[in-house]
């Protein structure tokens, strides 16, 4: 029995890669109450791998290609989408369509299930990607787009998503969020929190640490989580898979805005 825990740990990590990224995992793994808690818990590590890989490619390419700020921003912008296959962007568009329908909870959840994308979903997606791309370009052109914050943002956004999945009530008793939540106990919230701390410490070994920016990102992530919890409860009656995706995308944009403001004020 003592040998099973490392297996569940490893299988949960593989499930997280399999489910939340486009990286191929050619192994059939059962999703149950032993592997799913680790799968959810490893979300911050997925953010670490994502941010670290983007920075690593930038670092390797810099001496040979000397990419311009627009190419650096484009790489970060595209790579962050490719890493997840647009999984969370789908939630952003669906939630936008549902919210701007100004309907009751039941109608909004019907819209969330609809595979078609409406006008509000398309417009909100364009705005999200455009603002993110412009912010990345401006940061890259003025301050350079390399630093611990490029890893912290995906780590923090996925930590918030994991915590909301574990602790928040569900809006409906079906869907992927319902399936995952059935297998995770509330007291297992320590798993993503512990792995988040480890993931946030790793980039500090390679990049200068700015306590003010770090504090701003941490406080901003907590504030975003509080606002999104209120939004999800009032407008949808709880959390769902689409809402978790929207929370992640909105949280990353919010964090990027804070980075831009901070660098503009402190270094501008």
Give the tens place of pLDDT for each residue, 94-141: 999 999 988 888 899 899 988 888 899 999 999 999 999 999 999 999
Residue range 61-78: mean pLDDT, rounded: 88
- Per-residue pLDDT band for 3 (boundaries 50, 70, 90) equals very low
Does residue 49 register a pLDDT over 90? Answer: yes
Q: Output the six-digit token pair for 7.
A: 């297996």
pLDDT in tens, 188-205: 888 999 999 999 999 999
Does residue 4 register a pLDDT over 60? Answer: no
Q: Output the six-digit token pair for 64.
A: 């040979």
**C-beta of residue 236 within 8 angstroms of C-beta of residue 173:** no
Q: Who contacts 53 (Cβ-Cβ below 8 Å, separation ≥6)?
A: 79, 83
Does residue 66 register a pLDDT over 90? Answer: no
The dihedrals phi and psi of 170, each to the nearest 5 degrees, come to -80, 150
Helix (H, G, I), strand (E, B) or coil at 27: coil
Per-residue pLDDT at 6: 65
- Per-residue pLDDT band for 2 (boundaries 50, 70, 90) equals very low
Q: Which of 96, 127, 89 is nearest to 112 (CA)?
A: 96
Q: Which residue matches tokens 């928040």?
A: 168
Per-residue pLDDT at 27: 82
Does residue 244 register a pLDDT over 90? Answer: yes
* DSSP bridge pairs for 170: 239
CA distances from 178 to 163, 168, 230 (A): 14, 11, 19
DSSP assigned state of 239: B
Q: Which has more confidence, 29 or 151?
A: 151
What distance lies between CA 215 and its chain's CA centroid?
Answer: 19
Q: Print burial letters for 32-54: b (CB count within 10 Å at least 16), e (below 16).
A: eebbbbbbbbbbbbbbbbbbbeb
pTM: 0.93
- Calpha distance 265→268 (Å, rounded): 5
Long-range contacts of 163-167 (CB under 8 A, 24+ apart): 163/189, 163/192, 163/193, 163/225, 164/225, 164/228, 164/229, 164/232, 164/239, 164/244, 164/247, 165/40, 165/239, 165/244, 166/40, 166/192
């Amino acid at each position: 029995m003592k040998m099973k825990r490392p297996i569940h740990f490893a299988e949960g990590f593989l499930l997280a890669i399999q489910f939340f990224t486009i990286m191929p995992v050619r192994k059939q793994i059962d999703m149950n109450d032993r592997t799913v808690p680790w799968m959810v818990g490893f979300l911050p590590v997925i953010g670490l791998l994502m941010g670290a890989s983007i920075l690593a490619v930038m670092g390797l390419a810099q001496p040979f290609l000397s990419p311009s700020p627009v190419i650096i921003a484009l790489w970060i912008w595209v790579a962050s989408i490719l890493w997840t296959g647009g999984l969370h962007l789908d939630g952003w568009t669906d939630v936008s369509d549902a919210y701007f329908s100004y309907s009751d909870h039941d109608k909004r959840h019907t819209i969330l299930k609809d595979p078609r994308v409406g006008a509000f979903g398309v417009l909100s997606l364009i705005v999200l990607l455009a603002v993110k791309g412009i912010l990345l370009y401006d940061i890259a052109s003025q301050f350079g787009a390399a630093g611990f914050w490029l890893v912290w943002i995906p780590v923090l956004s996925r930590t918030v998503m994991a915590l909301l999945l574990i602790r928040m009530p569900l809006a409906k008793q079906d869907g992927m969020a319902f399936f995952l939540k059935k297998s995770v106990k509330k007291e297992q919230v320590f798993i993503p929190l512990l792995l988040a701390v480890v993931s946030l410490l790793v980039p500090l070994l390679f990049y200068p640490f700015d306590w003010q920016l770090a504090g701003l990102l941490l406080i901003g992530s907590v504030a975003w989580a509080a606002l999104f919890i209120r939004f999800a409860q009032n407008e949808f009656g709880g959390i769902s898979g689409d809402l978790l995706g929207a929370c992640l995308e909105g949280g990353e944009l919010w964090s990027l805005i804070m980075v831009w403001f901070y660098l503009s004020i402190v270094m501008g």
